[in-house]
Amino acid sequence: MLSLGVVGCGYWGPNLIRNLGTLSECKIKLVCDIDADRLAHMKKLYPEAQTTTEFDNLLEDAHIDAIVIATPVRLHFEMTKKSLQAGKHVLVEKPMACSAEQCRELIGLAEKQKLTLMVGHTFIYSAPVRKIKEIVESGELGEIQYICSRRLNLGLFQKDINVAWDLAPHDISIILYVLGEDPVCVNCQGKSHVVSGIEDVTNMTLNFANGTFATIQSSWLDPNKVRETIFVGKKRMLVYDDLKSMEKIKIYDKRVEVPPHYDTFGDFQYSYYYGDVYSPYLQQVEPLRVQCQHFVNCIKTGAKPESSGLEGLEVVRILEAASESLKNGGGRVEIAKPLAPYAYGQGLRPPGA
């Protein structure tokens, strides 16, 4: 049985502890947080787990096999690095680190230590997103023309990262997972309204080599909570609304057809096709539980996680490019393709990995 340590009992950590606690293949041995009141609360919920305010206690405990990190982003790199150096497998929340350089170092260290390094891109473990990937790969929607994603809410405001780094990793990871490819360039605009220098509203555009483009709107400053992604294909259109309890995915048999031949502008007419709307059946399982089970399975089998350090790196590379675009007023920023062959030590990512 795997023995786990969890650091961070704020917003997301308790959800990880709850789901990990349901898995028969592991047990939570030690829970860490700097807030003694939060630790006391977690002790009431999970009396079998020990608690500590010192992160080093997790590193020094020889019986702990893996550490789950759910702390503010600024601590991800240091804590993940120390955990890997101590011989612990790591599940770290998104984004993986504050820079691509830090991500590459962690990937190299995990490979050197032969340890599992996994990033908490929870949505790729959800039934709706997996179904969307299946539908897109089947060709049912036709060639994907564009994707529009909106993740809006009133708060939660962060102090160390802007809204793009906080919310957009969800949408970026979903889009990369569904499309199976990386963008070639990014544009991003945003505005700070509440805390100077920390954008609370951003609009990001990802352009792909095949002509597909995606827009991602992120906001902490909207009156209503929105979690919606639209995939527009040449044949059909798909709407994914994560806030719906039922029918999270709807497929619209709609499209615009352009006449293949016309001699004059007067001959040119669009043809709008309207067909049925249907919602595929989804077996609902909490995505975070699936993610936690996957982490445990990867440790036991040595398999590469579906959201490994490599996927975490690509999301951070896009966020870095978006940050650069924000600084130059929304200008286009190219995302250079990594070199091959791949060498973990140099942090070079293999094409298509």
Task: Could you please state the CATH topology (level 3) that the domain comprising 125-353 is classified under.
Answer: Dihydrodipicolinate Reductase; domain 2 (3.30.360)
Cβ atoms of residues 51 and 39 within 8 Å: yes
CA distance 303 to 122: 18
Per DSSP, helices labelled H in 46-191 are: 56-60, 76-85, 100-113, 127-138, 163-179
pLDDT for residue 281 is more than 50: yes
CA distance 172 to 321: 13
Partner residues linked to 27 by β-bridges: 3
pLDDT for residue 344 is more than 60: no
CA angle 126-128-134, nearest 5°? 105
| pLDDT per position as a tens digit, 149-158 | 999 999 888 8
Which distant-in-sequence residues (6+ apart) come within 8 Å of 78 by Cβ?
A: none
| pLDDT per position as a tens digit, 13-58 | 999 999 999 999 999 999 999 999 999 999 999 999 999 999 999 9
Q: What is the pTM of this model?
A: 0.91
- Given this model, what pLDDT does residue 270 score? 64
| pLDDT per position as a tens digit, 62-103 | 999 999 999 999 999 999 999 999 999 999 999 999 999 999
Amino acid, single-letter form, for residue 323: S
Strands 271-278, 249-257: pairing is antiparallel
How sure is the predictor about 266, in pLDDT bands with cuts at 50, 70 and 90?
low
pLDDT for residue 340 is more than 50: no
Q: Where are the domains of the chain?
A: 125-353
pLDDT for residue 265 is more than 80: no
| pLDDT per position as a tens digit, 176-220 | 999 999 999 999 999 999 999 999 999 999 999 999 999 999 999
- Given this model, what pLDDT does residue 351 score? 37
Cβ atoms of residues 164 and 218 within 8 Å: yes
| CA 268 to chain CA centroid, nearest Å | 43
Partner residues linked to 91 by β-bridges: 68, 118
Q: Where are the beta strands (DSSP E) in the chain?
A: 2-7, 26-32, 50-52, 66-69, 89-93, 117-120, 144-154, 185-191, 201-207, 213-219, 221-233, 237-241, 249-257, 271-278, 333-334
pLDDT for residue 159 is more than 90: no
Strands 50-52, 333-334: pairing is unpaired
